[in-house]
Chain A
């Protein structure tokens, strides 16, 4: 039965780009030297009647470079479009006295095909969106071949997500196009994805992509669900470091009405939704897991969905190395000595016999 659960989403990740530095997505930006600029962005992951609605924003931060992000998704989107103009800001206003907010990631299931399959493409302002199906290496190859710069931890992180979901969204941002469109520094392009899914989780580990273990990771995550969700790992209390549950309350009808009024947000019900706000304030080294969300009422979020349990068998055995130098003990010296000894013994015996005769 379909897990009623939740939400999911956010994520973000990133990878990116050669060339320079200047723009960033709602997750992270990895430059050619492996350096990362991470902006605190806001993402809404909502699950309503078996459909996930994921809303995040890619922010133009100037410069002339091209960059991209890869976001793991829990399923194949049926729709990708420009998101509403004020939903994210409205959520921030609902839960925080000041602004700024978060970002995060998502994903589900394994795919061993060697090449990534393009499932969907879309153009939203200066963003080229591509939804891919493939394993971690296939998606990594696809990204690399298109100029995305992959950080040193990308192979492990992409495999981590691909083991649960082979669906990824790649967003390529062309800063020159953004500039030509008149987008100003700090302007964001909200993207909304509609994803039918029976399972839900929010990728958090991906926020640390390209970061040193001690690097700070900050993000805000909103969940809008049909009922109060059970979360795994259990979040910390409000105000605590880590992944803290700052707000957990019924969504007010006023909030829902405001959200419904935004572009593309007509799916938001008039009432009966639960709003959760999680603030992520930790380090990349501690963010080795995701967030599983269960709104079924059973209160049993999946450890696999949380990224705490490997869904695959034990890692496939790697090619055994050829035995290193050294090898078995050589027999040539012993053979040579034995032959020489036997020959000499024979000679001595013959000589003795000759003398005797």
Chain B
């Protein structure tokens, strides 16, 4: 049977819509950059809002004359680093990186869908966490 014009048009429309939907999905997974400044041993901003499923590249800028670090994770991660001995983070672990005095560094982290509603980021160099060098990443689609 010879295909009718509207059949071809319908197929073309569906193909186009599907393609656009795939493009949208791809765009939704693009890495977004959030700049976090470390100044006077504080994070600025202290609260970051992130949509579930988003991959975020955290660009850390340390304006202080002392070293800092950025550790993103849940309470267990924070406890482990606060009590642990590891003091250098070279970025192999997503969400964990050391930032030298006056320097900058970056780390990328994907916030999973269905994950915790919030994660903490903090610096665990001696005395820094107790001083208040911590912040929160709120995971919300709202």
Using CB atoms and an 8 Å cutoff, list the residues of chain A in contact with chain B.
32-34, 136-141, 143-144, 150-156, 158-159, 212, 318-322, 324-327, 330, 332-333, 335-337, 339-340, 343-344, 346-348, 350-351, 354
Q: Assuming A144-B101, A154-B65, A343-B9, is B127 touching A33 (CB within 8 A)?
A: yes
Kindly state whether residue B105 has any CB partner on chain A within 8 Å: no
Nearest chain A CB to B88's CB is how many angstroms away? Answer: 15
Main SS class of interface, B:
mixed
Q: Please indicate the chain B residues that have their CB under 8 angstroms from the CB of A155 in the complex.
A: 39-41, 64-66
Q: Please indicate the chain B residues that have their CB under 8 angstroms from the CB of A343 in the complex.
A: 9-10, 12-13, 16
Q: Please indicate the chain B residues that have their CB under 8 angstroms from the CB of A351 in the complex.
A: 4, 6
Chain B residue, CB-CB nearest to A33: B126
Q: How far is the CA of A321 from the CA of B64 in the complex (A)?
A: 17
Kindly state whether residue B77 has any CB partner on chain A within 8 Å: no
Q: Assuming A144-B101, A150-B66, A332-B27, is B56 touching A325 (CB within 8 A)?
A: yes
Q: Please indicate the chain B residues that have their CB under 8 angstroms from the CB of A336 in the complex.
A: 16-17, 20-21, 24
In contact, B64 and A322 (Cβ under 8 angstroms): no
Q: Please indicate the chain B residues that have their CB under 8 angstroms from the CB of A159 in the complex.
A: 40
Kindly state whether residue B44 has any CB partner on chain A within 8 Å: yes
Give the residues from 1 to 17 in chain B that come closer than 8 angstroms, CB to CB, to chain A: 4-6, 9-10, 12-14, 16-17
In contact, A344 and B20 (Cβ under 8 angstroms): no
Q: Please indicate the chain A residues that have their CB under 8 angstroms from the CB of B81 in the complex.
A: none
Q: Assuming A152-B133, A336-B17, is B34 touching A325 (CB within 8 A)?
A: yes
Stretch of B46-54, B90-98, B113-121 contacting A (4+ beta carbons < 8 Å): B46-54
In contact, A321 and B41 (Cβ under 8 angstroms): no
